[in-house]
Amino acid sequence: MKKIVAISDTHMEEWIPPPRLEEVMRGADLIVHCGDFHSFEVYEHLKSEYELKAVFGNSDDKRIKSELSEVELFEIEGIRFGLVHQGNYLNYFDDLGYKAREMEMDVLIFGHIHRFHVEKIGKVLLICPGSPTRPRLSIASCAVIEVDDRKLDVRMEIAQEKFCGMERLGDLEELQEGELQEGG
């Protein structure tokens, strides 16, 4: 069995990950990053510490864009994976499904939308791990993908209690309680 941890959209100047993300990444056979590291130092750190497959994102610096490509393809236990940063849309991913089929991929992992998403389009599985540091319309997350004899298990892991820019999930609960009390 192989354990892949997928992350994207870290947008960090230096690698100071949430402790929960480090815990999830520990023991992974492969880390995949779907772009928007933001700084070359973060990319270099991940490359030196982990087995890494990655693509550049729209916010990455010139050095990252010169080292990485827009698309990365690899195979694990007979399953063909592809990585890209983004598709054409933020809520509909048919274009990514078509792209994966054209590239003859079984699984396409992508980023850019900063929220966890898993969807099957035809025979292609699309996975967006979300952002472990800057979530949008979701909680900070990553994806754990376990591959065992051509079988996949995909799950979302909460990277930290940060919800859509709030510092912690408790902020949301407190906000909701305050609205309920005001509303009567």
Q: For the chain, report the end-to-end CA distance as a whole number of angstroms.
A: 53
37, 57 contact by CB (below 8 A):
yes
Q: In whole angstroms, what is the distance from residue 19 CA to residue 7 CA?
A: 14
User: Structural domain of residue 32, as residue ranges?
Assistant: 2-183
What's the pLDDT at 179?
52
pLDDT tens-place values along the chain, 184 residues long: 999 999 999 999 999 999 999 999 999 999 999 999 999 999 999 999 999 999 999 999 999 999 999 999 999 999 999 999 987 666 667 888 888 888 899 999 999 999 999 999 999 999 999 999 999 878 999 999 999 998 999 999 999 987 765 555 555 556 555 554 544 4
113 C-beta neighbours (distance < 10 Å), count: 21
Residue with tokens 């912690």: 168
Determine contact, residues 116/130, Cβ cutoff 8 Å: yes
Give the pTM. Answer: 0.87
**pLDDT value of residue 170:** 57
Q: How many helices (H) and strands (E) does the chain have?
A: 5, 10
Which of 103, 70, 67, 63 has the alpha carbon at shortest distance from 84?
A: 70
Residue 171 buriedness (CB in 10 A; 0-12 / 13-18 / 19+): middle
Count of Cβ atoms closer than 10 Å to residue 103 Cβ: 14
Domain count, the chain: 1
65 DSSP 8-state letter: H
Which CATH number does the domain housing residue 62 bear? 3.60.21.10
CA distance linking residue 157 with residue 148, whole number of Å: 19
